[in-house]
Amino acid sequence: MSRESLQVEQMSFPVPSQATGWQSRALMVGVLGIIACVAGAFLQLDTFLRGYLIAYMFWTGLSLGCLALLMVQYLSGGVWGLVIRRFLESGAKVLPMMILFFVPIAVLRNHLYIWMTDPVQKNAWYLNTPGWLARAVVYFVIWLWLMGTLTRWSKRLDSPWDEYPAFEALSGLGCVLFALTTSFAAVDWVMSLDPHWGSTIYGLIFLVGQCLSALCFSIIMLTTVTRYEPYSQLVKPMQFHDIGKLTLAFVMLFAYFSFSQWLIIWSGNLPEEISWYLERIRGWWGIIILAIVLLHFALPFAMLLSRERKRAGRRLIGLAVLLMFMRLVDLYWYVIPNFKSVAFFSIWYVVAPIGIGGLWLAYFFYNLRQRPLIPAYDPQMQVFLHQGHEH
């Protein structure tokens, strides 16, 4: 037996005991937030539903981003994914709860989507209630199947195994299915808020935004657990550097897709298309889009060029929090201008993300506590430990 294999046998990778307290506090915040959400549904139903949709797309997108990165890691074989795999799995495993949170949107859909009560003839073949509901079922079935299979196979890596699961084959198929389902879900749940406008790159913007949020969340969690043994010794600057480079790539990709959508529509100068942007650059919305450009791209891009910053979790964590917050602002910019009679700002735009987010985090920490934080018998553990000796 090699020294690395013996070292794996002798090591344990428990979740820090503090995770129990994190779970309890998140659950308390979530319960209080959901109580406030119920009150909001009775007091200002239409306004509340706008905030609820923003919150739902953000937290569901975080789970989907975790699932996407999980498959990307299995396909790429990068060691960067080994140290955050349990975070990605735990985040993806929140998806069953997000199905329950979709129920209010499905039940109260007529308050959000005007085409359900006033059909648009040219889009009626696609934008119709039976089709919208049926597609939602298909999305969730595919996502749950991918999540369930990958996490079930991953359990085998917590103990010696005889046959390595076919992660690469499933992830290859899964990435194709994931790209299709998330793109159509973004069209169904957000773009169709304005049934007269469309964009072929819309789904990709949401897909990249989900992956970027998941990366930022992983940075926050990895930085947090490296305060405790044995992770403070195991996780090295190289792992943060790899994740930081990947974050930079997704920041640029998000900006590229967003700018491409704007450039194509603006250069076409068609009234039925360009009016969507005109609503989002006038008045206070112009300040919001300027903030998105500066804080969702320009500042993170400049800061992530620094090699030293990418190698230090404590220097990345603030940027990760900023990017997650700006993702929420970006969803706000996409959703709210579709409702011209709705206030520019409402307390429910804050309460709903906090309520759903508290329960999401509580479920996340519950999932995280069920398994060792690192899959000790993954084949990449030898490379991981070897990197640790080098540093």
Q: What's the mean pLDDT when you consider all of the chain?
A: 90
* pLDDT of residue 265 exceeding 80: yes
Distances (CA, A) of 137 to 174, 261, 371: 17, 29, 29
**Residue 4's pLDDT band (cuts 50, 70, 90):** very low
> What angle in degrees, to the nearest 10, is found between the helix axes of 167-189 and 45-76?
160
Distance (Å, whole) CA 212 – CA 253: 10
> What angle in degrees, to the nearest 10, is found between the helix axes of 45-76 and 95-107?
150
Q: Is residue 11 part of a domain?
A: no
Q: What is the pLDDT of residue 272?
A: 80
Q: Is residue 174 part of a domain?
A: yes
Q: Which two tokens stand for residue 341?
A: 């009679």
* pLDDT of residue 44 exceeding 50: yes
Give the mean pLDDT of 20-42. Answer: 95
DSSP state of 296: I
The tens digit of pLDDT for each residue in 219-247 reads 999 999 998 887 877 888 888 899 999 99
Give the mean pLDDT of 202-227. Answer: 95
Domain that holds residue 241: 28-390
Give the mean pLDDT of 187-203. Answer: 94
Q: Which amino acid is at 207?
A: L
Q: What is the pLDDT of residue 313?
A: 84
- Least Cα distance to 150 among 316, 358, 375, 300 occurs for 375
Distance (Å, whole) CA 197 – CA 123: 10
Q: Is residue 20 part of a domain?
A: no
Domain count, the chain: 1
Distance (Å, whole) CA 231 – CA 198: 47
Q: Is residue 261 part of a domain?
A: yes
- Report the first-to-last Cα separation within the chain, whole angstroms: 23
Q: What is the pLDDT of residue 15?
A: 87
Count CB neighbours of 163 within 10 A. 6
- Least Cα distance to 325 among 248, 174, 217, 168 occurs for 217
- In sequence order, which residues have a C-beta less than 8 Å from that of residue 345 and are 6 or more positions away? none
Q: What is the pLDDT of residue 156?
A: 85
More confident of the two residues 10 and 234: 234
**Residue 271's pLDDT band (cuts 50, 70, 90):** confident
Distance (Å, whole) CA 222 – CA 247: 14
Q: Is residue 353 part of a domain?
A: yes
Distance (Å, whole) CA 140 – CA 154: 21
Portion of the chain with pLDDT greater than 70, in percent: 94
Give the mean pLDDT of 58-83. Answer: 92
More confident of the two residues 200 and 391: 200
Q: Which two tokens stand for residue 259?
A: 């700018």
Q: What is the pLDDT of residue 9?
A: 46
Distance (Å, whole) CA 241 – CA 222: 12
- Least Cα distance to 36 among 346, 385, 370, 371 occurs for 346
The tens digit of pLDDT for each residue in 71-128 reads 999 998 878 888 899 999 999 999 999 999 999 999 999 999 999 988 888 889 999 9
* pLDDT of residue 295 exceeding 90: yes
Q: What is the pLDDT of residue 391?
A: 41
Portion of the chain with pLDDT greater than 90, in percent: 69
**Residue 389's pLDDT band (cuts 50, 70, 90):** very low
Q: What is the pLDDT of residue 5?
A: 45
More confident of the two residues 275 and 162: 275
Confirm if 53 and 112 have CB atoms less than 8 A apart: yes
Distance (Å, whole) CA 216 – CA 222: 10
Query: Across the chain, where does the E strand assignment appear?
Result: none
Q: Is residue 4 part of a domain?
A: no
Distance (Å, whole) CA 64 – CA 210: 7
The tens digit of pLDDT for each residue in 314-367 reads 889 999 999 999 999 999 999 999 987 767 889 999 999 999 999 999 999 999
Q: For the chain, what is the largest distance between any 2 Cα atoms, rounded to a whole number of angstroms?
A: 70
* DSSP character string of 321-390: HHHHHHHHHHHHHHHGGG-TTS-S--THHHHHHHHHHHHHHHHHHHHHTTS-SS-TT-TTHHHHHHHHHH
Q: Is residue 347 part of a domain?
A: yes
**Residue 380's pLDDT band (cuts 50, 70, 90):** confident
DSSP state of 17: T
- Which range, of 181-190, 287-296, 363-372, 378-387, averages the lowest pLDDT? 378-387
Distance (Å, whole) CA 262 – CA 258: 6
